[in-house]
Chain A
């Protein structure tokens, strides 16, 4: 079935370090791909998305490119800040029962130290 596999962590980085969070997916058809972020004690917020192959989503210095050939959507940021400490979820949307539904990876906890 459709699924998402992502780095699970936890990961601890120093401020200004480079961040990569790997995400690969298995899906029939052409899903849309998402990165959501969850700050402590809160719900999820959309970080970025891409709806077709070779699309690049970007927001707040984060980027991810939809790679159909490698079925990947890796998240990157060149210089992380303490405020980026959160849990990051990769997700894909699939059509089931006539509507789109999200399938999430297990999430990766990132801690950034000053």
Chain B
């Protein structure tokens, strides 16, 4: 089945630690996205990538980093510079980044700080 997988489902971070969230898609989509979801705040865009080896900052990129070395993979690293990382992280992809393109979402990773 085609889709987007995110792992792990739950992730725990210690103070000062970097952690990496995985996102893989087998939909052959060019564009991929990372969002952060906090209670009562909807989703906010962290980073997005239109094509392999290229990515841009979203609205809340500080304290996060990404890479896009393969079309199917778009991992997100939450660095120690992100002071409030506890949230639900959602990865999405779309065929392209054109007008009206539907974004398809993964099941999410919940990050908790110990």
Contact = CB atoms under 8 A, between A and B. Distances in A.
A49 interface: yes
A73 to B, nearest CB: 13
A89 B44 CA distance: 12
Contact of B105 (A8, A45, A99): A45
A32 B45 contact: no
Contacts of B103: 46, 102
Interface residues of B, number: 28
Interface in A1-49: 8, 32, 34, 36, 42-46, 49
A114 interface: no
B43 A89 contact: yes
Range of interface residues on A (Cβ < 8 Å):
20 to 34
A22 B90 CA distance: 25
Contacts of B45: 101-102
B108 A106 contact: no
Contacts of B65: none
Residue of A45, A89, A107 ringed by the most chain B CB atoms within 10 A: A107
Contacts of A79: none
A19 B35 CA distance: 28
17 contacts: A8-B40, A36-B105, A42-B108, A43-B4, A43-B105, A44-B43, A44-B92, A46-B103, A49-B100, A49-B102, A51-B100, A97-B56, A98-B50, A100-B98, A101-B48, A104-B44, A105-B42
Interface of B: 4, 6, 31, 33, 40-45, 48, 50, 56, 58, 90, 92, 97-108
Closest 9 CB pairs of A and B: A99-B97, A43-B105, A32-B100, A104-B42, A51-B100, A44-B105, A106-B42, A104-B43, A43-B107
